[in-house]
Amino acid sequence: MILRRSMIVAASLAALFCYAAQPAPLQSASAALARSPAGMPLVPLKIRSRNHVHRFTVEVAVTPEQQERGLMFRPHVGPNEGMIFPMAPTRVATFWMRNTMVPLDMVFIRADGTIARIAVNTVPYSLDTVSSYEPVASVLELAGGRTAELGIKANDRVIWRRP
């Protein structure tokens, strides 16, 4: 009887060990966090403007290095692409266009998600600073002229989730 119980316990432990040693199931592609070629997280972002919702896929510049580099050295920004720079705590944000090859629209976003200001078609390679003029929680960079093309204005609402 004792031998039989020992064999049952041993078999149970072996089964448990084999189960625990199995690799975890792979995440589905939709559950995995998408990344840009630059290695930054990609997230969906919406801008509610009057009766329209404009959808974008943006890179999130999370680290200080990513935020410093931004969209520098990129020859193209797609019409529904961009980059968002989260800021904590909120602060008056200033940007420049050093080594940025294409014009950008800089959308300065308050903590409540509303747009404080838009700097339209900033000048490539310029060292002039572009300011939010008030504390903001994030800055969104889009292709130059895109906000005017879509009718996006101050006080429209930006909706996105930080990864």
Rounded to an integer, what distance in angstroms lies between the CA atom of residue 40 and that of residue 89? 21
Query: Tell me, what's the pLDDT at 141?
Result: 98
User: Which of these CATH numbers, 3.40.50.920, 2.30.110.10, 2.60.120.1140, 1.10.10.10, describes 27-160?
Assistant: 2.60.120.1140
Q: Is 42 exposed, middle or buried (CB count within 10 Å of its CB: 0-12, 13-18, 19+)?
A: middle
pLDDT digit of tens for each residue in the chain (163 aa)?
443 444 333 444 344 334 333 333 433 344 467 999 999 999 999 999 998 999 999 999 999 999 999 999 999 999 999 999 999 999 999 999 999 999 999 999 999 999 999 999 999 999 999 999 999 999 999 999 999 999 999 999 999 999 9
How much is the pTM?
A: 0.80
Query: Tell me, what's the pLDDT at 33?
Result: 77
End-to-end Cα separation, the chain, in angstroms: 57
* Domain edges within the chain: 27-160
